[in-house]
Structure 1
Amino acid sequence: MNSNILQDNINQLALLAAVIIVALTVYVAGKYIKQMKTEKSEGVLAEENWDGIGEYKNELPSGWAYTFLGTMIWALWYWTAGYPVNAYSQIGEYNEEVAAHTKQFESKWASADKDTLLAMGEGVFLVQCAPCHGIAGDGMGGKAADLSVWGSAAGVLETIKNGSKGLGYPMGEMPAGLVSGDDAKAIAEYVANGMKGEQPAAFATCAGCHGPDGKGQGGMAPDLTKYGSPAFVADVLERGKKGFIGTMVSFKGRLTPIQEKAVGTYILSLSQGE
Structure 2
Amino acid sequence: MNKLYLWGIIIAVAMLGATYATLGYLKDGLNGDIVNILAIAGAAALVIITIFVVIKYVRQMQVDHATGELADESWDNIGEYKNPVPFGWAIIFLGTIIWGLWYWTIGYPVNSFSQIGQYNEEVKTLNTAFDKKYANIKGDELVNMGESVYLVECVACHGLNADGNEEKDAADLNQRISVKSVKYVINHGLTGKLIGSEMAMPDRNGLFNTATGALITDAEIDSVAQYVANGMKDNKAGAKVFANVCAACHGPDGKGQAYVAPDIASWNQKLIVNVLTYGKVGAIGKMPIMDRLNAKQKEAVAAYVMSLSKGE
CA distance, structure 2, for counterparts of residue 147 and residue 243 of structure 1: 14
Q: Deviations over 1:73-105 (max 9, x none)?
A: 111222233244555443233222212211211
CA distance, structure 2, for counterparts of residue 214 and residue 241 of structure 1: 20
Corresponding residue for residue 206 of structure 1: 246
Q: Is 1:95 the equivalent of 2:133? A: no
- Residue 79 of structure 1 aligns to a residue whose secondary structure is helix
Counterpart contact for 2:70–2:82, Cα < 8 Å: no
Which AA in structure 2 matches 1:272? K
Counterpart contact for 1:167–1:240, Cα < 8 Å: no
Q: Deviations over 1:39-98 (max 9, x none)?
A: xx9x952559xxxxxx98675433222111111111122223324455544323322221
Aligned partner (choices 263, 276, 292) of residue 237 of structure 1: 276
Counterpart contact for 1:240–1:248, Cα < 8 Å: yes
- What TM-score, normalized by structure 1, do the two folds share? 0.61
Counterpart contact for 1:166–1:240, Cα < 8 Å: no
Aligned partner (choices 223, 227, 237) of residue 180 of structure 1: 223
Distance 1:67 1:119, change over 3 A: same
CA distance, structure 2, for counterparts of residue 60 and residue 162 of structure 1: 64
Which AA in structure 2 matches 1:256? N
Corresponding residue for residue 175 of structure 2: 149
Counterpart contact for 2:146–2:303, Cα < 8 Å: yes
Q: Which has the larger radius of gyration?
A: 2
Which AA in structure 2 matches 1:232? L
Distance 1:99 1:67, change over 3 A: same
Number of residue equivalences: 212
Query: 202-211 or 112-121, which moves further after superposition?
Result: 202-211
Q: Is 1:250 the equivalent of 2:289? A: yes
CA distance, structure 1, for counterparts of residue 149 and residue 107 of structure 2: 40
**Mapping of residues 151-166 of structure 1, within 5 Å:** 155=177, 160=182, 163=185, 166=190
Identify the structure with bigger relative contact order (alpha carbons < 8 Å, sequence gap 6+): 1
CA distance, structure 2, for counterparts of residue 78 and residue 181 of structure 1: 61
Distance 1:182 1:46, change over 3 A: closer
Aligned partner (choices 189, 192, 207) of residue 168 of structure 1: 192
- What TM-score, normalized by structure 2, do the two folds share? 0.54
Corresponding residue for residue 79 of structure 1: 104
Which AA in structure 1 matches 2:271? F
Corresponding residue for residue 66 of structure 1: 91
Aligned partner (choices 165, 179, 182) of residue 140 of structure 1: 165
Which AA in structure 1 matches 2:227? A
Q: Is 1:131 the equivalent of 2:156? A: yes
Which AA in structure 2 matches 1:257? A
Counterpart contact for 1:216–1:224, Cα < 8 Å: yes
Counterpart contact for 2:191–2:200, Cα < 8 Å: no
Aligned partner (choices 135, 143, 168) of residue 118 of structure 1: 143
Aligned partner (choices 299, 308, 311) of residue 261 of structure 1: 299
Q: Deviations over 1:224-270 (max 9, x none)?
A: 58x4333331122112112344311112x321121112111222222
CA distance, structure 1, for counterparts of residue 230 and residue 166 of structure 2: 26
CA distance, structure 2, for counterparts of residue 67 and residue 181 of structure 1: 72
- Residue 281 of structure 2 aligns to a residue whose secondary structure is strand
Which AA in structure 1 matches 2:159? G
CA distance, structure 1, for counterparts of residue 283 and residue 179 of structure 2: 18
- Residue 101 of structure 1 aligns to a residue whose secondary structure is helix
CA distance, structure 2, for counterparts of residue 178 and residue 244 of structure 1: 15
Specify every segment of 5 or more residues in structure 2 that has no aligned partner in the other structure, as ranges: 1-63, 72-79, 194-198, 205-217, 234-238
RMSD, aligned α-carbons? 3.9
Query: 108-117 or 204-213, which moves further after superposition?
Result: 204-213
Which AA in structure 2 matches 1:209? C
Which AA in structure 2 matches 1:248? M
Counterpart contact for 1:157–1:188, Cα < 8 Å: no
Counterpart contact for 1:187–1:203, Cα < 8 Å: no
CA distance, structure 1, for counterparts of residue 225 and residue 173 of structure 2: 23
CA distance, structure 2, for counterparts of residue 171 and residue 238 of structure 1: 17
- Residue 292 of structure 2 aligns to a residue whose secondary structure is coil
